[in-house]
Structure 1
């Protein structure tokens, strides 16, 4: 029951069937008789796991053959550095960044260590409550790349469209909404996502990289920080996070076989978001959603109550009622419900109903 009512921002909820299969695999995999925690990354079994995980991702997202799918480590934080190391340093060009929240603000800090970095738009002055309109971005045709975060988990903001110019490589951190809805992979030079939202447990980062873009990387990089190293080694240059990749494979099976694919998942996610925002909007004098309506995230719903004291009481009462992970991010406080793929519509409906009860009792 606790797992079913887990609204944590990350690591987030995992599907019940995946948790059961993972529990059994920790004791012994049916294929090998060994615990998944003790399986060699050089074994044929693990090569099969990597290959299936890649096949499933390609099928679910429509990833073309001229894109590489890499399983890496270090989360988005490492990608903030690796991206400019490979494609900005010594390029003779500048990189462009959209800063729309807590996480995207970290990316240009690392890029500035590697070369000319320009922030096209920064929502900090407005408290990161909205996303930029197209006419607010002064885009350059000669940029090395444009980087943005598709969904801001802290503030609960999500891009409805895709920014940028067709001729400029587009790079996106999709850590919190990859696999939540269909995407046009061909529009991107590179997509990356750490797993602990919709893909699986913490420890693995998926990188989807167009081959032509990968070949632009400079030479002379440290071996482990060169994307071409991981392409050549098929994600096994060093010891990968075997357990996390195994669970990611199970999650992609679940999404394919039990949910019916990414389009079906998107419809469920839309219903979840509509239910929760509807409950909050019904009590606007009591609950206040952080982001502007046009920019609201389907994955992360950030909101406030009239006072910090009432928020503390809300969290204490919610835990007693069986709702977990509703604390807001430390950077802005308040409250947050994350509606990742594994969070069921039943769980969201239960939370939505309880929000009304709490308002009537405490308002």
Structure 2
């Protein structure tokens, strides 16, 4: 029953666990493994601590499956130190244990630590599998470290056919985020199997690296091939059009979403279109598009329009956009900063001062800028 709930209705698992305890049925190692996995998916940290205490009393902590599930529960709750403590207390660990810890570091925003875990795993004599390799490549992508990424590319070549498309997708993403689209394209062309993620990664990679025409060529090639674009693909395509200033092409792709693929545009697609029109100076057209949206626009759409008004000095439209954005989220500092900069650009210092005082009154703090360097 626990395993069934885990697969089909994991949100019911805590209730079933409590019922089992009330009926006096003692859990075994399989039960603990299932419960920790379910609590990890639910981010039920408090109950997870209680189950961990029960695990210690029952003495099943030496089981490797239980240990892996326990570590996963801590990691999914962003408790990385507790996860490492549980990992260190495991009497034995396998490639799944190490890979899980590396992936957990990545999830908690520690890509360098993830690579350290993987190198330490190699030092203890364990071989990387495809999941470890994908995690390593994702860490390199997060760090934009092509030097490290090339090392794992070499390992991928050594593994040969014992690799699935997910590893190659991670490899594409690594090269794209490192700005090396030539290498990404070589990998892409050599892939025996390409998923929608493969095509989308290439489109976004070219767009991020200001190779807009190449991005749209990949998309046109995708539509003729074996993969059908999804809603994320269209976000990348519209972003590419925005980078290149291709207004007419963007409208064509935006219309084809629902007409050709049955995909209803979401707020993200409208944000891309507003950003595109704003960059092109079509402020009125961007505002009209927002007002025609089939659902209530979110604050991000209005902030995007406000950013365009800042660039082109359209004070009146910018004030309307800021009003809508503040009505939706009065505590978001981005709206205040954009509006303040627009007032400052027009030398309206009284309005800048009033806006800063309003921020202090509402206790809105501007997030300080930071440099990755």
Q: TM-score, normalised by structure 1?
A: 0.26
Structure number with greater CO (CA < 8 Å, separation at least 6) is: 1
- Larger Rg, first or second structure (1 or 2): 2
Q: TM-score, normalised by structure 2?
A: 0.25
